Structure 1
Amino acid sequence: MASVDSFQLFYREMSRSCNPYFETLALVGAIYTASRAVILLRECCSLVRVHFLPRIIPNKKKLSQRFGEWAIVYGASEPVAKAYAEELARHGVSIIFVTQSEASVRDIAALLSQSYGVETVVLLADFSLNQAASNTIKEAMKGREIGFLVNCMESLDSPQSLIEMHEQGLLDLVNKNVAVATLMARLVLPGMLERRKGAVVNISSGACCKPLPGRVTLTAFAGYMDHLSRALHLEYSGKGIFVQSLIPFQISEQPPSSSSPSSRLNWFEPQPEVYARHAISTLGVSNRTTGYWPHTLQYGLMRRIPDFMWVLGSRVWISLS
């Protein structure tokens, strides 16, 4: 009995002496919880402002009035770039396709002209021939109000480590996804600055958020496109030019199947047309976004995964694949 009383007395004394520390820790915990709640509320407000308000209350001005009557689209062999070009055409914007293979865009160019009554031009440009391709684009731009530049990063067919890639193939990817994207911005910006309006949209990948196994080049190219966009926006946003970095996650490359309801309701892997419709509503609203609200939820989750857990998960994924 005496030992029990001694313990209770010891406990009371310890509680009395530690009480100020408990109050301090409780205050710190309350402040931390409140700060996280404020951050969550801010991110929810940003999600609504970027992805929902522009669709609920659209801008009364047409895109062609806000930015210009013509768009240059580079990388239209990618499904998401084709869908974005179609969405621009639906808003009355004429399209200049810059490509190295006319066959990859001939059909979509004809379809846009017939469906939306806009002009379309297909330019064959081989950027390995020094300035010959640049001169072709400059000639096509003369007399046209270029209001949009859309650069789309070329996707990779399958995961490959860096040492598995052929040297020439790697150089071609660097040329298309880094050099040409930068050069296209260099070509269109002077005219936009002269008119003090225009939009540059660089479509890369959510892979820029975290390194991915077997996707070294994809992560690097996406990171370059993302940082290029942010740097250009910082430099030219005060001069009437809106530069946007679109960093989507998985976009379906298969047409929806009427026999499979799940393929139509997969919010996290939208059809290119669905993604483009959402993404274009964010133009002029956010300079860096996934362009699609479920992808923004994915992006928010990825940012909160600690690097050591991400690396561990990547290694497990490699071992199982």
Structure 2
Amino acid sequence: MNLKEKYGEWGIILGATEGVGKAFAEKIAKEGMNVVLVGRREEKLKDLGKSIEEQYGVQTKVIRADFAQDDCTDKIFEETKDLDMGFMSYVACFHTFGKLQDTPWEKHQQMINVNVVTFLKCFYHYLQIFTKQDRGAIINISSLTGWSSSPWNAQYGAGKSYILKLTEAVACECENTNVDVEVITLGTTITPSLLSNLPGGPAGEAVMKAAMAPEAVADEAFENLGKNLSVIAGEHNRKNLDNWRQNHTEDEYIRYMGSFYSDK
């Protein structure tokens, strides 16, 4: 039974333009689902939609939306209300580097909207649909920055922790139903953003050695769907997190996370 047969005709990827969002879109299309692609860069989404339609023989629908805007979900929900929705993934994220007090309030508001408010609106909306029809699946994306405080990136880490803990709790609530919910926590992942900010020399080589391809993240996420509530992507990330839990204090972990961003 493929995803379409199990969950429904359409899936929506919120933050589908590139990286993990693109990999998720291609994954559900390969499983027979039509795909709603949502993001800010409409032309890139249209190109992705065309490629998916040609490669997998499914339908796509592009919705331009800025997740930082208060009313962005109005259009998303209106344009999907008549579709047989069966899958949702919230991949979108936004962060800025710097101390809390040095970051303009407008940036804080944008991060709150993208990482908390819009996320919750989408989660709540599609979960209601899936629960009512007694079928559907949701995979939300968190980050290792959500497992500990993230100095110089504080609000982003807190937002990822919100996504992590909220999705874990809801996933448990949905056990023993026909709605599967999972959160997958990512470490370093090869995306255009990572590649454009990659340090040179040995530091950059170390980052690339530890980084996962978006396609590998997607494979792991869907392999665990319906089996596990919360997944840490990649054996390397799981081992590192276990090591920190067993051999270091919370203060050490916080300072370690801050060491990545203190010079930003």
TM-score band by shorter chain is 0.7 to 0.9
What is the TM-score when the length of structure 2 is the normalising length? 0.83
Q: 2:200 matched to which residue of 1? A: none
1:90 paired to 2:38: no
**TM-score, structure 1 normalization:** 0.70
Say whether residues 1:80 and 2:11 are aligned partners. Answer: no
| Percent identity of equivalent pairs | 22
Correspondence 1:149 to 2:91: no
- Name stretches of at least 5 consecutive residues in structure 2 with no aligned partner: 196-203
**Secondary structure of 2:176's aligned partner:** helix
Matched, 1:227 2:165: yes
Shift of 1:159: 2.9
Q: Supply the distance in 1 between the matched residues of 2:16 and 2:30 (Cα, whole angstroms).
A: 16
**Residue among 229, 247, 250 paired with 1:307:** 250
1:174 aligns with 2:126: no
Question: Structure 2: how far apart are the matches of 1:319 and 1:187?
Answer: 38
The residue number in structure 2 matching 1:258 is none
Indicate the residue corresponding to 2:141 in structure 1: 203
Question: Is the Cα contact below 8 Å between 1:78 and 1:152 reproduced in 2?
Answer: no
The unaligned stretches of length 5 or more in structure 1 are: 1-60, 256-261
Aligned to 2:210, the other structure's residue is in SS state coil
CA distance in 2, matches of 1:318, 1:235: 36
- Give yes or no for contact 1:73–1:81 (8 Å, CA) kept in 2: yes
Note the C-alpha offset of 1:266: 5.4
State the secondary structure of the residue aligned to 2:155.
Answer: helix
Which structure 2 residues correspond to residues 1-321 of structure 1 after superposition, within 5 A? 61-125=1-65, 128=69, 130=71, 133-134=73-74, 136-142=76-82, 144-156=83-95, 159-253=97-191, 268-304=210-246, 305-311=248-254, 313=256
| 8 A contact 2:18–2:191 mirrored in 1 | no
The structure with higher relative contact order (CA 8 Å, sep 6+) is 2
Q: 1:69 to 1:302 in 2, by over 3 A?
A: farther
Q: 2 CA distance for matches of 1:253 and 1:218?
A: 18
1 or 2, which has the higher helix percentage? 1
The runs of at least 4 consecutive aligned structure 1 residues that moved more than 3 Å come to: 125-130, 311-321
Deviations 1:11-47 (A, max 9, x none): xxxxxxxxxxxxxxxxxxxxxxxxxxxxxxxxxxxxx
- The structure-2 alpha-carbon separation of the partners of 1:316 and 1:71, relative to structure 1 and needing over 3 Å to count, comes to closer
- SS of residue in 2 equivalent to 1:71: strand
**1:203 alignment partner, SS class:** strand
Distance 1:319 1:250, change over 3 A: closer
| Distance across 2 between alignment mates of 1:298 and 1:224 | 22
Q: Which is worse superposed, 200-209 or 266-275? A: 266-275
The structure in which a higher percent of residues are strand is: 2
Q: Summarize the Cα distance change of 1:67–1:155 in structure 2 as closer, same or farther, 3 Å threshold.
A: same
Q: Between Structure 1 and Structure 2, whose CA radius of gyration is higher? A: 1
Which letter maps to 2:132? E
Question: Which stretch shows the higher mean deviation, 66-75 or 301-310?
Answer: 301-310
Quote the offset at 1:167 in angstroms. Answer: 1.2
Partner Cα separation in structure 2 for residue 146 and residue 231 of structure 1: 22
Q: Tell me if structure 2 keeps the 8 A contact 1:102–1:124.
A: yes
Separation in 2 of the partners of 1:315 and 1:189? 35
The letter of the residue matching 2:213 is: Q
Decide which moves more: 105-114 or 309-318: 309-318
Alpha-carbon distance change, 139 to 189 in structure 1, aligned in 2, over 3 angstroms: same
The residue type paired with residue 253 of structure 1 is: T
What is the rounded CA distance, in whole Å, between the counterparts of 1:310 and 1:229 in structure 2? 23
